[in-house]
Every structure is written in C-alpha cells, then in structure tokens.
C-alpha cells in the first residue's frame, strides 16, 4: 500500500475552504482521492456536497459510522503559512482540513485492508452552518446504511500532540443562533421627539438580555447568552429606524434552552412596547447537545491507549457541534484530538501541529476496527 502523505493532503485542503453547502471544489477533491483507492470493498454515494463511503467488512455483524465535517468559515486568514487559503475571506479556522485528512487516511487503510465489520465514512457539509448533520442523518442513503454506532473527532488546540480527550455524557452544549431586528421611525437628530430611535432600543435590549442568564436560569444549570454584533444607523446625525442584534445561546440542557428563548421573546416584546417599535426574533441554526455513550467512551479510552495516544478526561464545554443530532439518533461519541496551537478555534491565526495527523489516523483506524 502506498503511504499517504498526510501533510501534503492537509495543505491542499487548507487552501480550498468553502462555506456550508458550497463545498463544490472540496467535494471534487475528496472524490478524486477516493477514486484513487482500491474499489473492491467501497460503495460511494453523494448527497448534496457531502459524500458517503461504505466499506464492506470481511465478516460484518454491525456497521460503524465515522463522520467528518468538510466546510470552512467566513474568516480572512492571517497565518504565516506558505499554503494559505486561496479563497478570499474563507479559512479552515476550525480544523476541518485536519478532520478530512484524518478521515481520508483511515479510509485509505481500510480500503486496502477492510475491517471485520462494515464501516460507513460520512463526509458532512455545513457543520458551521446552516447545519448539515440533521438533514444528512434523515437522508435515504443514511437510512439504507444506518450505522449501529458512530463517532467523530474535533481538534483541540489547547491539548498537546499525542493526547486525546473525551468523557461520558454531555460533552458539548445545546446551541442556537439569535437574530433580533428592531424597526421604528427614523429622522433628523435635532428632532428626536418625532422619531422612535432603534439604536437606543437596541442598547436597552442588550442590557436586558444579559440579565436572563443571571436571573432566569438555574445557577446549577449553566447557560451563555452572547450578543456578538450590533448594527444600526447610517450617519451620525440621523436617528436610526432599524437596528439588528446577532448573537448565540448555549445551554447545558434542552430545558434551559427553551427557557432562555422564551425570556428573550418576553424581553423583546417589552422593548417593543417601551420603544414603540416592531421586533422580530429568529434563531437560525440550532444544534443539539453532544451526548456521549458511556460504554463506548470507555472502550475508546482503552483502544486509543493501544496505539500510544494518551487519554485525558474532558470537561463539558459550551462549544456547539451539529454532530449532536447524529448522537441523538445513534449511540456514539465525539473526542478531542490534541494539536497544540498557540491560538484557538475560529481564529484567523489557528496553526495546528501537523504531527497530530498521524496520531488521528492511527486512533480512528484502530477504533473503527475494534469497537
């Protein structure tokens, strides 16, 4: 078997980041690499910009699924790489170039030497938004090849190379995007009494939203409500008739998520009355919590040690991941892979250590063969 150059592969993928459901070049690249493999045990089907690869086992008793995400982020890259993104304003700033490379590495090994059980590789689009996991899960192809168990990884910049980390139970939070539009009456800055100022309304709304977690959520049930962007107005001497807030909600339980959303709507309705305006609240992409199967995590801990990876117990995080939808429907788990970067996920300067690629392939390949 020809040894796959993981670093070369990752660098090629790093240069072609694309946003959710726009991963056409990425799709072509992946399909070319898949077609280069021995095809005797492979069946390949496409779904939108995603790909399913079924690897027939030698004496299957179950199907094990492995999912990787393939999209990038709308971030302008600021690394020192000689192989920076070729797509302006887009970057693999969450490590999906690593994720795809590791999946291709494990697939290559299994294509040359199949496992006992059937394996399903899932190259999933739109993890960063608007969310590809749930519709891919509900696709006819997934139902035809439905795995009995499933797992995935995510790079962890804060962990050293050679380390993996997971935990039974809740690993990632429930998440939801938040968009609030406020519409009032604009006018000249010299005549504020004739207007309904939406910059002022937005300011009050942000202040009130920050009290929801502090005063409406059980202190023992963590939640985060962040407004990351406010836009409104045109120039300094015109009172704005429109303002928009964009943010995110993250909770450790579905109950808290529903409570937070209800309070957001209550507070926003109060702003409508107090500031004589109209408001709309939309939630955009919603991601279900990542909840790991305890027995499978225990098996993974032992299997990762067998290939020399050091296992570390993780803490639950407010990170969001749409892989949670797959785990809601199929028993499985997600784990962190240490890549030791000075800067974190979703930053323009993320530079994971490429030595982690071989660790990832070894861990995934061994786990797929032995779960």
Instruction: Examine the domain organization and report whether 31 and 133 are in the same domain.
Output: yes
The domain that contains 327 carries what CATH number? 3.40.630.10
Are 133 and 249 members of one domain? no
Which are the contacts of 92, defined by CB distance < 8 A and separation ≥ 6?
13, 14, 17, 72, 73, 85, 98
Q: Where does the pLDDT of residue 284 fall: very low under 50, low under 70, confident under 90, or very high at 90 and above?
A: confident
Nearest of 232, 113, 215 to residue 180 by alpha carbon: 232
Q: Are residues 198 and 253 in the same domain?
A: yes
- Give pLDDT, residue 286: 87
With beta carbons less than 8 A apart as the criterion, state whether 261 and 176 touch.
yes
Last residue of a domain, one of 254, 286, 318: 286
Mean pLDDT value across the chain = 97
Query: How many domains does the chain fold into?
Result: 2
Show which of 286, 321, 340 is a domain's final residue.
286
Any idea how long the chain is? 371
Residue 88: inside a domain: yes
CA distance 144 to 176: 30
Catalytic residue check, 241: no
Between 89 and 219, the more confident residue is 89
Same domain, 166 and 281: no
Average pLDDT, integer, range 225-239: 96
Q: Which of 69, 71, 293, 321 is catalytic?
A: 69
Tell me the residue ranges of DSSP E strands in 90-222: 118-124, 149-156, 163-166, 169-172, 174-183, 187-188
Integer Cα distance of 31 and 285 in angstroms: 28
Domain span at residue 308 reads 6-170+290-370
**Whether 14 and 158 share a structural domain:** yes
Confirm whether 56 is domain-assigned: yes
Both 281 and 294 in one domain: the answer is no
**Does residue 1 fall inside a structural domain?**
no
pLDDT of 17 > 90? The answer is yes
Which among 251, 286, 321 is the end of a domain? 286
Cis peptide before 130 (omega within 30 of 0): yes
Does residue 273 surpass a pLDDT of 80? yes
- Is this prediction's pTM over 0.75? yes
pLDDT interval class at 245 (50, 70, 90): very high
128 as an active site residue: the answer is: yes
User: Has residue 259 been placed in a domain?
Assistant: yes
Q: Indicate whether 188 belongs to any domain.
A: yes
Bridge-based pairing of strands 63-69 and 149-156 is parallel
For the stretch 20-37, pLDDT in tens is: 999 999 999 999 999 999
Asked if the structure places residue 118 within a domain, the reply is yes
H/E stretch holding 365: helix 356-370
pLDDT digits (tens, 9 = 90+) for 295-334: 999 999 999 999 999 999 999 999 899 999 999 999 999 9
Q: What is the CATH number of the domain that holds 242?
A: 3.30.70.360
Can you give the pLDDT at residue 74?
Answer: 97
**Of residues 23, 128, 134, 177, which has the active-site annotation?**
128
In this structure, the answer to whether residues 63 and 118 fall within a common structural domain is yes
Pair (297, 314) in one structural domain: yes
197 and 150 assigned to the same domain: no
pLDDT band at 78 (very low <50, low <70, confident <90, very high): very high
Calpha distance 115→118 (Å, rounded): 7
pLDDT band at 3 (very low <50, low <70, confident <90, very high): confident
pLDDT digits (tens, 9 = 90+) for 84-119: 999 999 999 999 999 999 999 999 999 999 999 999
pLDDT at 137 over 80: yes
pLDDT tens track for 49-65: 999 999 999 999 999 99
Same domain, 28 and 137: yes
> Do 305 and 282 have their domain in common?
no
Is the same domain home to 214 and 273? yes
Please, which residues bridge with residue 165 across strands? Answer: 312, 336
As a whole number of Å, the end-to-end CA separation of the chain is 24
Question: Is the sign of the CA dihedral 309, 313, 315, 316 positive or negative?
Answer: positive
365: confidence class by pLDDT, cuts 50, 70, 90: very high
């Amino acid at each position: 078997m020809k040894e796959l150059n993981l670093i070369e592969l990752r660098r090629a993928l790093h240069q072609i980041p694309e946003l959710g459901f726009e991963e056409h070049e990425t799709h072509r690249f992946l399909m070319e690499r898949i077609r280069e493999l021995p095809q005797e045990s492979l069946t390949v089907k496409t779904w939108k910009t995603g790909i399913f690869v079924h690897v027939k086992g030698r004496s299957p008793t179950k199907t094990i699924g492995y999912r990787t995400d393939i999209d990038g982020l709308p971030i302008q890259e600021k690394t020192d790489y000689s192989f920076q993104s070729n797509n302006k304003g887009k970057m693999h700033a969450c490590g999906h170039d690593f994720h795809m490379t590791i999946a291709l590495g494990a697939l290559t090994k299994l294509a040359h030497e199949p496992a006992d059980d059937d394996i399903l590789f899932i190259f999933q689009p739109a993890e960063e938004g608007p969310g590809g996991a749930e519709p891919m899960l509900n696709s006819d192809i997934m139902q035809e090849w439905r795995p009995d168990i499933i797992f995935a990884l995510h790079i962890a910049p804060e962990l050293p190379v050679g380390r993996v980390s997971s935990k039974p139970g809740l690993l990632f939070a429930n998440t939801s995007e938040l968009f609030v539009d406020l519409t009032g009456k604009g006018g000249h800055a010299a005549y504020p009494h004739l207007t309904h100022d939406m910059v002022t309304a937005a300011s009050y709304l942000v202040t009130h939203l920050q009290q929801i977690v502090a005063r409406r959520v059980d202190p023992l049930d963590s939640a985060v409500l962040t407004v990351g962007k406010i836009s409104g107005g045109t120039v300094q001497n015109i009172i704005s008739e429109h303002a928009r807030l964009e943010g995110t909600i993250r909770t450790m339980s579905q109950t808290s998520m529903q409570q937070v959303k209800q309070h957001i709507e209550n507070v926003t309705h109060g702003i409508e009355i107090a500031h004589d305006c109209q408001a709309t609240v939309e939630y955009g992409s919603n991601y279900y919590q990542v909840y790991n199967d305890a027995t499978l995590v225990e098996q993974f801990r032992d299997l990762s040690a067998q290939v020399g990876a050091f296992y570390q117990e993780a803490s639950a995080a407010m990170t969001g991941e749409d892989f949670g939808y797959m785990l809601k429907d199929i028993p499985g788990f997600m784990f962190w892979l240490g890549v030791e970067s000075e800067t974190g996920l979703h930053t323009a300067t993320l530079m994971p250590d490429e030595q982690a690629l071989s660790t990832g392939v070894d861990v995934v390949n061994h786990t797929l063969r032995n779960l």
